[in-house]
Structure 1
Amino acid sequence: MKKSFARATLGILAFSLATAASAQVKPEDQIKFRKAGYSFMSWNMGKIKANLDGSYDAAQVTAAANAIAAIANSGMGALYGPGTDKSIGDQKTRVKPELFQNMPEVGKLATNFNAATTELAKAAATGDAAAVKVAFGEVGKTCKACHDQFRMD
């Protein structure tokens, strides 16, 4: 229980500090950069899935898992600053405004996602495809948890 509370608190703190740093980046650029980060993670998730479904290349999986963990743990929360709750110009967003009104839950989801991506990178480093498959599933669950609550269809 204490560990969960500590993780949630750290997640909220990290998200808050990252959000403060967002003041240096225009809202439309924040949307553009966060979309790029999620797209790059998605591409790497696809590479891992292809390896799990086909011929397993441990080096490729490790590189993809490390990229995902690095982006997830890079302070992406800074890209959810004021004014990024809606599309701006040609930068479209599917984030629900409720995300910005529920920081404790967002912090918890972000902490879970970051932890899951870190575990995926650790599993990939072992070269064990079965362990990667489990960790990959956990990352997917954390993605879905946030999408279900805070992403428009």
Structure 2
Amino acid sequence: MKFKLALAVFVAAASTAAIAGQAEDQQVKFRQSAYSFAAWNCSKIKSQVVEHPETYNKEQVVAAANSVAAVANSGLGALYGPGTDQATGWKKSRLKPEFFDKPEDAKKAAVAFNKEANELAKVAATGDVGAIKTQFGKVGETCKSCHDSFRIRD
């Protein structure tokens, strides 16, 4: 058991180090891809729970919520290396330089996203459309808060 735990810790540390050591442009590509995937899944939830609840499909909403939680728990922080505010991934990064000046605020935003995304996955599993809608709103608030603080507006 201790060997498996030690192996898991080693693999996680090596993976994080490998990502952090990648060029800034590659970090931004991965970051942009992860957020695009999360947004796509959020749009599925929004469509079925907020805009057209008559189309609600529990399995699809659960899968989408689990995908959003997976992104939130994937270690995205490793993709915010120094210089990634000036890098170009699939498109130019919209990360404000202030992100690096306020690490505690950035951490707080990330923790809030993780917490609310994990809760969304739990609530989605219940099938309670009203509760899913409420929790989905909380996830959206964490996204907006981070964007307001750390994302350059288009």
| TM-score bin, normalised by smaller chain | 0.7 to 0.9
Which of structure 1's runs of 4+ aligned residues deviate more than 6 A? none
Work out the CA distance in 2 between the residues paired with 1:42 and 1:116: 15
Distance 1:110 1:56, change over 3 A: same
Distance 1:123 1:29, change over 3 A: same
Equivalence for 1:14: none
**For residues 122-146 of structure 1, what are the alpha-carbon distances to aligned partners after superposition, in whole Å with 9 as ceiling and x for unaligned?**
0001011111001100000000000
What amino acid maps onto 1:117 in structure 2?
Answer: A
Equivalence for 1:45: 42
Work out the CA distance in 1 between the residues paired with 2:93 and 2:69: 23
Shift of 1:95: 0.5
2:65, 2:120 within 8 Å by CA — same for their partners in 1?
yes
What TM-score results when the alignment is normalised by the length of structure 1?
0.84
Work out the CA distance in 1 between the residues paired with 2:135 and 2:17: 31
What TM-score results when the alignment is normalised by the length of structure 2?
0.83
Work out the CA distance in 1 between the residues paired with 2:38 and 2:88: 23
Equivalence for 1:87: 87
1:65, 1:117 within 8 Å by CA — same for their partners in 2?
yes
Equivalence for 1:35: 32
How many residues in Structure 1 have an aligned counterpart in Structure 2? Answer: 136
**For residues 25-49 of structure 1, what are the alpha-carbon distances to aligned partners after superposition, in whole Å with 9 as ceiling and x for unaligned?**
2111000000000000000000001
Q: What percentage of aligned pairs have identical amino acids?
A: 53
Q: Secondary structure at the match of 1:140?
A: helix
Structure 1 stretches lacking a partner, 5+ long: 1-17
Shift of 1:78: 0.4
Shift of 1:114: 0.5
Summarize the alignment of residues 17-36 of structure 1 with structure 2, pairs less than 5 Å apart: 22-36=19-33
Equivalence for 2:123: 123
1:22, 1:81 within 8 Å by CA — same for their partners in 2?
no
